[in-house]
Structure 1
Amino acid sequence: MYTPPAFRMDDLPGLHGTMRDAGLANLLTATPAGLVATPLPLFLDPDDGPFGTLHGHLARANPQWRTPAQGDAMALFMGPDAYVSPSWYPSKQEHHRVVPTWNYVAVHAYGPVEFYEDPDRLLALVTTLTRRHEEPRATRGAVPWAVSDAPADFIQGQLKGIVGLRLPITRLEGKRKLSQNRNAADRAGVRDALAASDRPADRAVAAVMPE
């Protein structure tokens, strides 16, 4: 990922935070037939290895897991993103030498991917993944759903339709392109415009922009 120094993310907690907040990632592998990508909900175990380990599952019918990967796999996580209009820059009124751009946060995680079919590992995987997404619902007054709420024989049948994946991260790249290359007035103009937008995605970008 091309990352000018002003946009580089180096802190591990920040990288991990972006990955956790994204939820859905794209798993990309290079194969003899070309590149293959699958959108997947992945969860991070930050304590397994120097950069953490990713876990998830694919549909058994998905050919990606059966096709040998050439080299490392890559998981792509996208944070908030938004279009930036040149009209938001105060400097536009001074010289008009401005163009549109896009602000975004992204993390790329690399490592060897392992696929597995063991039913006990799969059950533990889907239980953890479900808990990760269900528990926050309790803070909103909802009753979280658990894998154990469904009949055991039904769950065992569902597990036959998936394969698990484990990706120990060997390298992380992060980028926060949030108008750091603009002067303070221009950054404030972008942040204020995005914060006033009726699009939640725009407001999310404003919330992570540096002062």
Structure 2
Amino acid sequence: MYIPSHFAAEPDAVRNLLAHPGAANLVTMTDGGLLATLLPFAFNPQVGEHGALQAHMARNNPQWSTAPTGEALAIIQGPDDYVSPSWYASKAEHGRVVPTWNYSTAHVYGELVVHDDAGWLARHVRHLTALHEGGRQDPWAVDDAPGKFVAGQLRAIVGVELVVSRIEAKEKLSQNRSAADAAGVAAGLRSIGREAGAAAVERVRT
């Protein structure tokens, strides 16, 4: 990944991207070319030296059964937003401004391990479900569904685990703009309901 020094993500930002439950594009190179699947994941810091991204995919998806060549890659995306030049204070000063795109992202590389095991899958889907249901007023749990139905669903999926070897992460959040321009970006994003993007711009300025 191309990462200018002023856009390099701080360790805390990387940890937040990994720890926040979301989805990532898993990309593998095979003898037949690239394969990619968007998968919800959970980060387990206790696996390997750098942790692991744990996910699952449909058994009918050929990606899990097609041997990868070299490293696998998971692309994690944080907040991303269009930035209008009209939000910059410098627009009124000299007008030499153009649109851009703000974003946070991490490229996570490692070895892909397949878990075709009902016990591993059961633990994984319970954990992943709890991450997303935990803050709800009436959270759903896997055990709310009939046992035979759950067993059938587990047979239809396969676990995949990316054991992390290295991470490249970038946050392009108006760090190259003046404080006044960055404040204008945060205010502009907040005015259109993009609170996460606004908060990210403010975070990197502190």
Q: CA deviation at 1:206?
A: 0.6
SS of the residue 2:135 aligns to: helix
Structure 2: runs of 5 or more not aligned: none
Measure the CA separation in 1 of the matches of 2:73 and 2:18.
13
**Alignment of 1:186 onto 2:178:** no
Aligned length: 203
Structure 1 residue runs without a partner (length 5+): none
For 2:123, the equivalent position in structure 1 comes to 124
Give the secondary structure class of the aligned counterpart of 1:9: coil
Amino acid at match of 2:153: Q
**Identity across aligned pairs (percent)?**
48
TM-score norm. by structure 1 comes to 0.91
1:6 CA displacement: 0.5
SS, match of residue 122 in structure 1 = helix
* Distance in 2, Cα, partners of 1:179 & 1:69: 37
Tell me if the contact between 2:41 and 2:54 (Cα under 8 Å) persists in the aligned partners.
yes
Find the counterpart in structure 2 of residue 151 from structure 1: 146
Which residue in the other structure is 1:97 paired with?
96
Alpha-carbon separation, structure 1, partners of 2:154 and 2:85: 50
CA distance in structure 2 between the aligned counterparts of 1:190 and 1:150, rounded to whole angstroms:
45
Structure 1 runs of 4+ off > 4 angstroms?
Answer: none
One-letter code of the match for 1:183?
S
Q: Secondary structure at the match of 1:126?
A: helix
Aligned to 1:204: 196
Q: Normalization by structure 2: what TM-score?
A: 0.93
CA drift at 1:121: 1.4
Work out the CA distance in 1 between the residues paired with 2:184 and 2:149.
54
Question: What whole-Å deviation, never above 9, does each CA across 1:166-200 have from its counterpart, x for those lacking one?
Answer: 11111011111000011111111111111222x3x
Mapping of residues 43-122 of structure 1, within 5 Å: 43-122=42-121
Spell out, residue by residue over 1:92-118, the C-alpha distance to the aligned partner (whole angstroms, 9 max, x if none): 222222111000111111100011211
Are the equivalent residues in 2 in contact too, given 1:22–1:77 (CA < 8 A)? no
Q: Partner of 2:129: helix, strand, or coil?
A: helix
Q: AA paired with 1:6?
A: H
The answer on whether the counterparts of 2:21 and 2:132 sit within 8 Å (CA) in structure 1 is no
* Alignment root-mean-square deviation, CA: 1.4
Write the letter of the residue equivalent to 1:83: Y
SS in 1 for 2:150: helix
